[in-house]
Structure 1
Amino acid sequence: MTEPGKRIRIAVAGLGIIARAVHLPLLQRRGDLFEIVALADLSPSRVTELGERYGVEPARRYTDATRMVTDGGCDAVLLATSGSHGELAALALRAGLPVLCEKPLAYTLAETARLSELGAGGAGLMVGYMKQYDPAVAEAARLLAELGGAERVHAVEVTVLHAGGDRQLRFANLSPAAGDVPAKEMARLSGVDHQLLDAAVGADPGARTLYQILINSVSHDLSLLRLFTGAPATVEQVATWPLAPDGPAEPSVEISGRLPGGARYGIRWLNLPDYPAYRETVTLHHARGSLELVFPSPYLLNAPTTLTVVDEHGGGERRAAYRSVTEAFEQELVAFHAMVTAGTAPLTGIAEGAADVRTSQQVVRRYGELTGAAIGGEAAS
């Protein structure tokens, strides 16, 4: 732990879309809290380009994230690499470095168990669920507490209209995919991912695709359920379906079940590549009204999330809207700074991240029970 208010020297591993569109610009914006001192990516040209842009000295530009972490010279690390973050996060925690880890935290519960052992040693870890830090979400949580808390919730409905990445990122003007990533290293990492997926859910292609949708995207909605009501108590219905025979490779997903207090939840993640824009709606219904959150594209910085409060007033229905342009990703960085400098607990640490992995495996197991798909690995038990 460093002194409160200190500027943190941060190293960033993985320079893909989320780092280029969100994390690096915001770390630069919050130069009062962070200094970017090291970068790592498999692409030499991307490391060079972004190293120049963000003033990282050539000696601290890496094509090996492992070496970046072991070389030290930083106060904390941000992991935005693809695939599981279990191995790199463990390496950082062993080195005593606090971690801000993009989801998924890990593919397997075995990885999260190792992280829990290391995390008990002192260095903290925050999983990057920025929606938990959205001002509109915080306001919804406050209003729910005023109503009496989670036990007042009757049902939670979630709908994600998942537009294609090109439609979510038109505004960002990002450089095209790097063409200088070593094929041998890509093959090695792909092999690691395959082994971890086998260990998590087995070899069934449908189960593996479903699991990756869950841990890479639906996990945001699981994090909001945990914040408002607690993690799902049961997974009862799971369905996947294609848009059309020649539709996208990833299906749409529907999940439903019971929440800890007896309320019901339903999540519909609709893969719509040609939909005009990303949109996510999370609605909490209670006996006297509703709290409805509408999220825009996560890459569109400072676009407001809208909270609509529905209740009764004067014998009729009242609708009041709350909006804030305070960026959720920026609030997440502020919270990470507080974790590193003051020991403030994150909203999602290792235990909570493991809970989302566990729920995702429960969804896959139920998928197998309903479809006859052969589920293996941890999900089978």
Structure 2
Amino acid sequence: MPLLSRRRELFEVTAVCDLSRTLADAVGDRLGVARRFLSLADMLAEGGFDAVLLLSSGSHGEPVRQALAAGYAVLCEKPLALTEAEVAALPEGRLMVGYMKQYDPAVRRAEEILAGLGGAAAIRSVEVTVLHPSGESQLAFANLAQARDVDAAPLRAAEAAIVDRALGEGAAPALRSVYAVALGSICHDLSLLRRFTGSPAAVDHVETWGGSPGSIEVSGPLPVSGRYSVRWHYLEDYPAYRETVAVHHDRGTLELVFPAPYLMNAPTVLTVVSGAESRTEYRDVTEAFESQLLAFHAFVADGVEPLTGRAGALADIVTAQRIAARFAVQHDLDLGGEARDRR
């Protein structure tokens, strides 16, 4: 909302929608929007706008389908969906999926440097570490309005039914947890791998420990050269979110350190390590979320293709299902649904 407000030369918010009247009113009041809806179908039918931002959590398959079918351009938060079937059901249309880290200026600079070194063929390994505190602790400073006027049980049941189609109705809680983390958080790292190297060629190791969600380790080969490893740790009381992505190549290292994504003007730091112990730091306070919004405007107004559309989002869903399938095989767990074919 702060970014939409400060880019009023590009965006005019004309309607808001939420299942919660409390949240619809809170957002409407803050943005000065009179038209407030509790039903997406009602908002789409009334219209009066060019594009839709879908910023809810979980699967966005059905709301994206409705918005595209109504003829609107769509920017939706990741993940696009939880199943390949949901993506297949989407009509043609203008769709951008929000992986804001792809638009981070430090990431774009790392891409440029890597291209000059020979691109994906020069990579020896990509090593990711994520230290993830609770969402409540990360957002405590924002004093957000709480949706206490919506019964969440039917929403959870509907989402569980979608996961059933991904993993099978008998999927164990541990398997569901791995899949949820893969598509809810690790997908950001999958999106970076897509930019640096292409989607992982395979998943050959998945392990968890320390409870649920606890810690998750995923590794395998990259599509051109080298290997990747992701270690994701849920740490309830860790002081602050921290994510490190190290790209080791033939002549050095590109290291990205991401701060908590909800803090304004907290730059990602790119450290370039090259020959003779040379180290260079690059940082830019341009907001990744703001750059993403500008890219959406360019997509809708000028036809500039986004960094992630339908195909990239589907690639991440497939990789997440491979992660779940590998975990199921290693731990002799029942596996059904779409992921059964990913083993």
Partner residue of 2:120?
150
Superposition CA RMSD, Å: 1.1
Partner residue of 1:73?
48
Normalising by structure 1, we get a TM-score of: 0.87
1:113 and 2:88 matched = yes
- 329-338 or 295-304: bigger deviation: 295-304
The structural deviation recorded for 1:341 is 0.6
1:374 and 2:334 matched = yes
Partner residue of 1:350?
310
1:96 and 2:64 matched = no
Match of 1:336 among 274, 296, 302: 296
Partner residue of 2:233?
270
* AA at the equivalent of 1:299: Y
After superposition, give the CA deviation of every residue in 1:213-238 in whole Å (9 maximum; x if it has no partner).
11111000000000000000010000
After superposition, give the CA deviation of every residue in 1:232-289 in whole Å (9 maximum; x if it has no partner).
001000001115xxxxx42211000000113100000111111111000001001110
Partner residue of 1:284?
247
The structural deviation recorded for 1:32 is 0.9
Look up the SS of the partner of 2:89 in the other structure. Answer: helix
Look up the SS of the partner of 1:325 in the other structure. Answer: coil
Partner residue of 1:128?
98
For residues 222-237 of structure 1, what are the structure 2 equivalents within 5 Å?
A: 222-237=190-205
Partner residue of 2:8?
31
1:218 and 2:181 matched = no
1:242 and 2:210 matched = yes
Look up the SS of the partner of 1:344 in the other structure. Answer: coil
Contact conserved, 2:123 with 2:250, CA < 8 A, in 1?
yes
Look up the SS of the partner of 1:169 in the other structure. Answer: helix
* AA at the equivalent of 1:212: A
Cα distance between partner residues in 1 of 2:202 and 2:314: 16
Cα distance between partner residues in 2 of 1:317 and 1:70: 61
For residues 46-61 of structure 1, what are the structure 2 equivalents within 5 Å?
A: 46-57=23-34, 60-61=35-36
Partner residue of 2:162?
196
Cα distance between partner residues in 2 of 1:144 and 1:277: 29
Partner residue of 2:149?
180
Contact conserved, 2:120 with 2:225, CA < 8 A, in 1?
no
Look up the SS of the partner of 1:240 in the other structure. Answer: strand
Q: Which runs of 4+ in 1 moved over 4 A?
A: none
Consecutive unaligned residues of structure 2, counting only runs of 5 or more, are: none
Cα distance between partner residues in 1 of 2:26 and 2:57: 20
After superposition, give the CA deviation of every residue in 1:153-186 in whole Å (9 maximum; x if it has no partner).
01000000001223322332323x22211x2xx3
Cα distance between partner residues in 1 of 2:121 and 2:137: 38
Cα distance between partner residues in 1 of 2:38 and 2:302: 32
Partner residue of 1:207?
175
Give the direction of change, closer, same or farther, for the CA distance of 1:281–1:101 in structure 2 (3 Å limit): same
Cα distance between partner residues in 1 of 2:76 and 2:261: 17
* AA at the equivalent of 2:15: A
Partner residue of 1:64?
39
* AA at the equivalent of 2:328: G
The structural deviation recorded for 1:71 is 2.1
The structural deviation recorded for 1:357 is 0.1
Aligned length: 339
Look up the SS of the partner of 1:255 in the other structure. Answer: strand
Cα distance between partner residues in 1 of 2:48 and 2:324: 41
Cα distance between partner residues in 2 of 1:195 and 1:327: 36
Look up the SS of the partner of 1:90 in the other structure. Answer: helix
After superposition, give the CA deviation of every residue in 1:48-72 in whole Å (9 maximum; x if it has no partner).
2221221111xx2011122212321
Look up the SS of the partner of 1:92 in the other structure. Answer: helix
Look up the SS of the partner of 1:37 in the other structure. Answer: coil
1:310 and 2:269 matched = no
Look up the SS of the partner of 1:197 in the other structure. Answer: helix
Normalising by structure 2, we get a TM-score of: 0.96
* AA at the equivalent of 1:179: R
Cα distance between partner residues in 2 of 1:196 and 1:349: 21
Match of 2:279 among 316, 319, 337: 319
Cα distance between partner residues in 2 of 1:70 and 1:377: 34
* AA at the equivalent of 1:345: E
Look up the SS of the partner of 2:12 in the other structure. Answer: strand
* AA at the equivalent of 1:194: A
Cα distance between partner residues in 2 of 1:113 and 1:50: 32
Cα distance between partner residues in 1 of 2:143 and 2:164: 37
